[in-house]
Structure 1
Amino acid sequence: MKKIIHRAADRGIQDHGWLKAAHSFSFANYHDPAKVHFGLLRVLNDDIVAPGMGFGTHGHDNMEIVTIPLKGTLAHKDSLGSVGNIEYGEVQIMSAGKGIQHSEYNGSSSEAVNLLQIWVFPKERNIEPRYDQIHYDLVAANNSFLTVVSPIKSEKTMWINQDAFFSLGTFDADSKASYKIQHPGNGAYVFFIEGQGVLDDTVLANRDAVGVYDTEELEIDFKKNSKVLIIEIPMQ
């Protein structure tokens, strides 16, 4: 197993007043030549958006964009006609394809919204843009990983235009969990949303991450109640 450790304190921190962002990879005004991407994972932004504020209409193309709210409500509108809110317990994906316009705003006038926005390079370029959103239940899958995004079309996961898998899990203190790589040759970016655990002698806590590759399986020993996101991603 080979690994790259990204500590929470080493992320690029941007404070725009209405937006507080922590960038795991180079983004906007933050650039670190050693942290541009992990395989085909290009962006992982941990954003806190003030009440009533947000991102006005803007465009994307040829990128798979996954949004995971951690707290609060995010209001979404796009050029495909998709309008609605996404909240904790839901995941959204946009295949930007040959081009899409969208806006994202905090759907609350009184509470901040905290979200993860993740960009993955696509497998096929210039496809028709697409939007999808699902609800997931981590309570039913406690102490195990639940796949919510997959390249395999099914009713239980959202489809992504890449050989990538997104899995979420909540874990009790003093429990263990393993994750098997689902596509040969993929790596896995393990992001500790909260809690504490040990992966291959590396201690990970709130917002720490480790990218692992050249392995078929990884195991995490949880020291505290934890919530974890695994992004399994092609390395080339």
Structure 2
Amino acid sequence: MIIRPSAERGRAQLSWLNSQHSFSFGHYYDPRHQGFSHLRVINDDRVAPGGGFAPHGHRDMEIISYVRSGTLAHRDSLGTEEHIQAGEFQLMRAGSGIQHSEFNASSSEPVHFMQIWIEPAQRGLPPSYQQRAFAAQDGLQAVITPDGANGTLQIAQDATLYRWQGSRLDYQPAAGRWVYLQVLEGTLANAEMTLQAGDGLLVREGEALRFDGHGEALLFDLPAE
């Protein structure tokens, strides 16, 4: 297990954006942190009132947004116009090509969201858009899966994203699987380590995760490379 400390993440600071990067992104480059399995981007973004990302294009990437607070306004070349509220997940498939923009929908309150990119298993898929709110529950809750089972958002990759909330995290990955844990708030601890908000944990070789604490985290179950 390798800790990715919050304080060592890359940073982008603009008049309207405060962003922290777990992996190389934009002007931040670190050859030690280029991604993990098919996970390529975890950005912790805070956008000032009225600020946002102007229309721009992507191809062949599964792009996930999880809004922590505030409201994010989304538009894309599919004709989608949505407001993503706190607690909601969005999954946009860039596929063969899509133009999109994200803006803070409020003129007075900031928006805080996680931006995540995962490489798809197949290139050139038709672009698509999914969005859903998941009722809060204790423990691990699947929100994005390869088959879209039980109302989860469906991703074009052998990857599952869980949201964890509660006081005990216990997860045993299957053989041949890697896990990335991103702590969003609170503290998780065991005899070997303590993880704080913003910290990441890279787990290889099927090691079990067993932590006590409180807060919220995202857990990515990914194929080993």
Deviations 1:116-135 (A, max 9, x none): 00001110110111110011
Cα distance in structure 1, aligned partners of 2:112 and 2:11? 15
Query: 1:94 — aligned with what?
Result: 92
Residue 153 of structure 1: how far off its partner (Å): 2.4
The answer for unaligned runs of 5 or more in structure 2 is none
TM-score normalized with structure 1 length: 0.91
1:201 partnered with 2:159: no
TM-score normalized with structure 2 length: 0.96
Q: Which amino acid aligns with 2:49?
A: P
SS of the residue aligned with 2:151? coil
Cα distance in structure 1, aligned partners of 2:20 and 2:116? 12
The answer as to whether partners of 2:175 and 2:206 remain within 8 angstroms in 1 is no
Q: Per the alignment, do residues 29 and 43 of structure 1 end up closer, same or farther by CA in structure 2, a change over 3 Å counting? A: same
Residue 199 of structure 1: how far off its partner (Å): 5.0
Could you tell me the percent identity over the aligned residues? 40
1:187 partnered with 2:185: no
Residue 149 of structure 1: how far off its partner (Å): 0.2
Query: 1:164 — aligned with what?
Result: 159
Cα distance in structure 2, aligned partners of 1:158 and 1:185? 23
Count the aligned residue pairs: 225
The answer as to whether partners of 1:187 and 1:212 remain within 8 angstroms in 2 is yes
The answer as to whether partners of 1:200 and 1:219 remain within 8 angstroms in 2 is no
Q: 1:154 aligns with which of 149, 164, 184?
A: 149
Query: 2:170 — aligned with what?
Result: 178
Deviations 1:52-94 (A, max 9, x none): 1101110000001010011100000111111110011110001
Q: Per the alignment, do residues 155 and 81 of structure 1 end up closer, same or farther by CA in structure 2, a change over 3 Å counting? A: farther
Query: 1:230 — aligned with what?
Result: 219
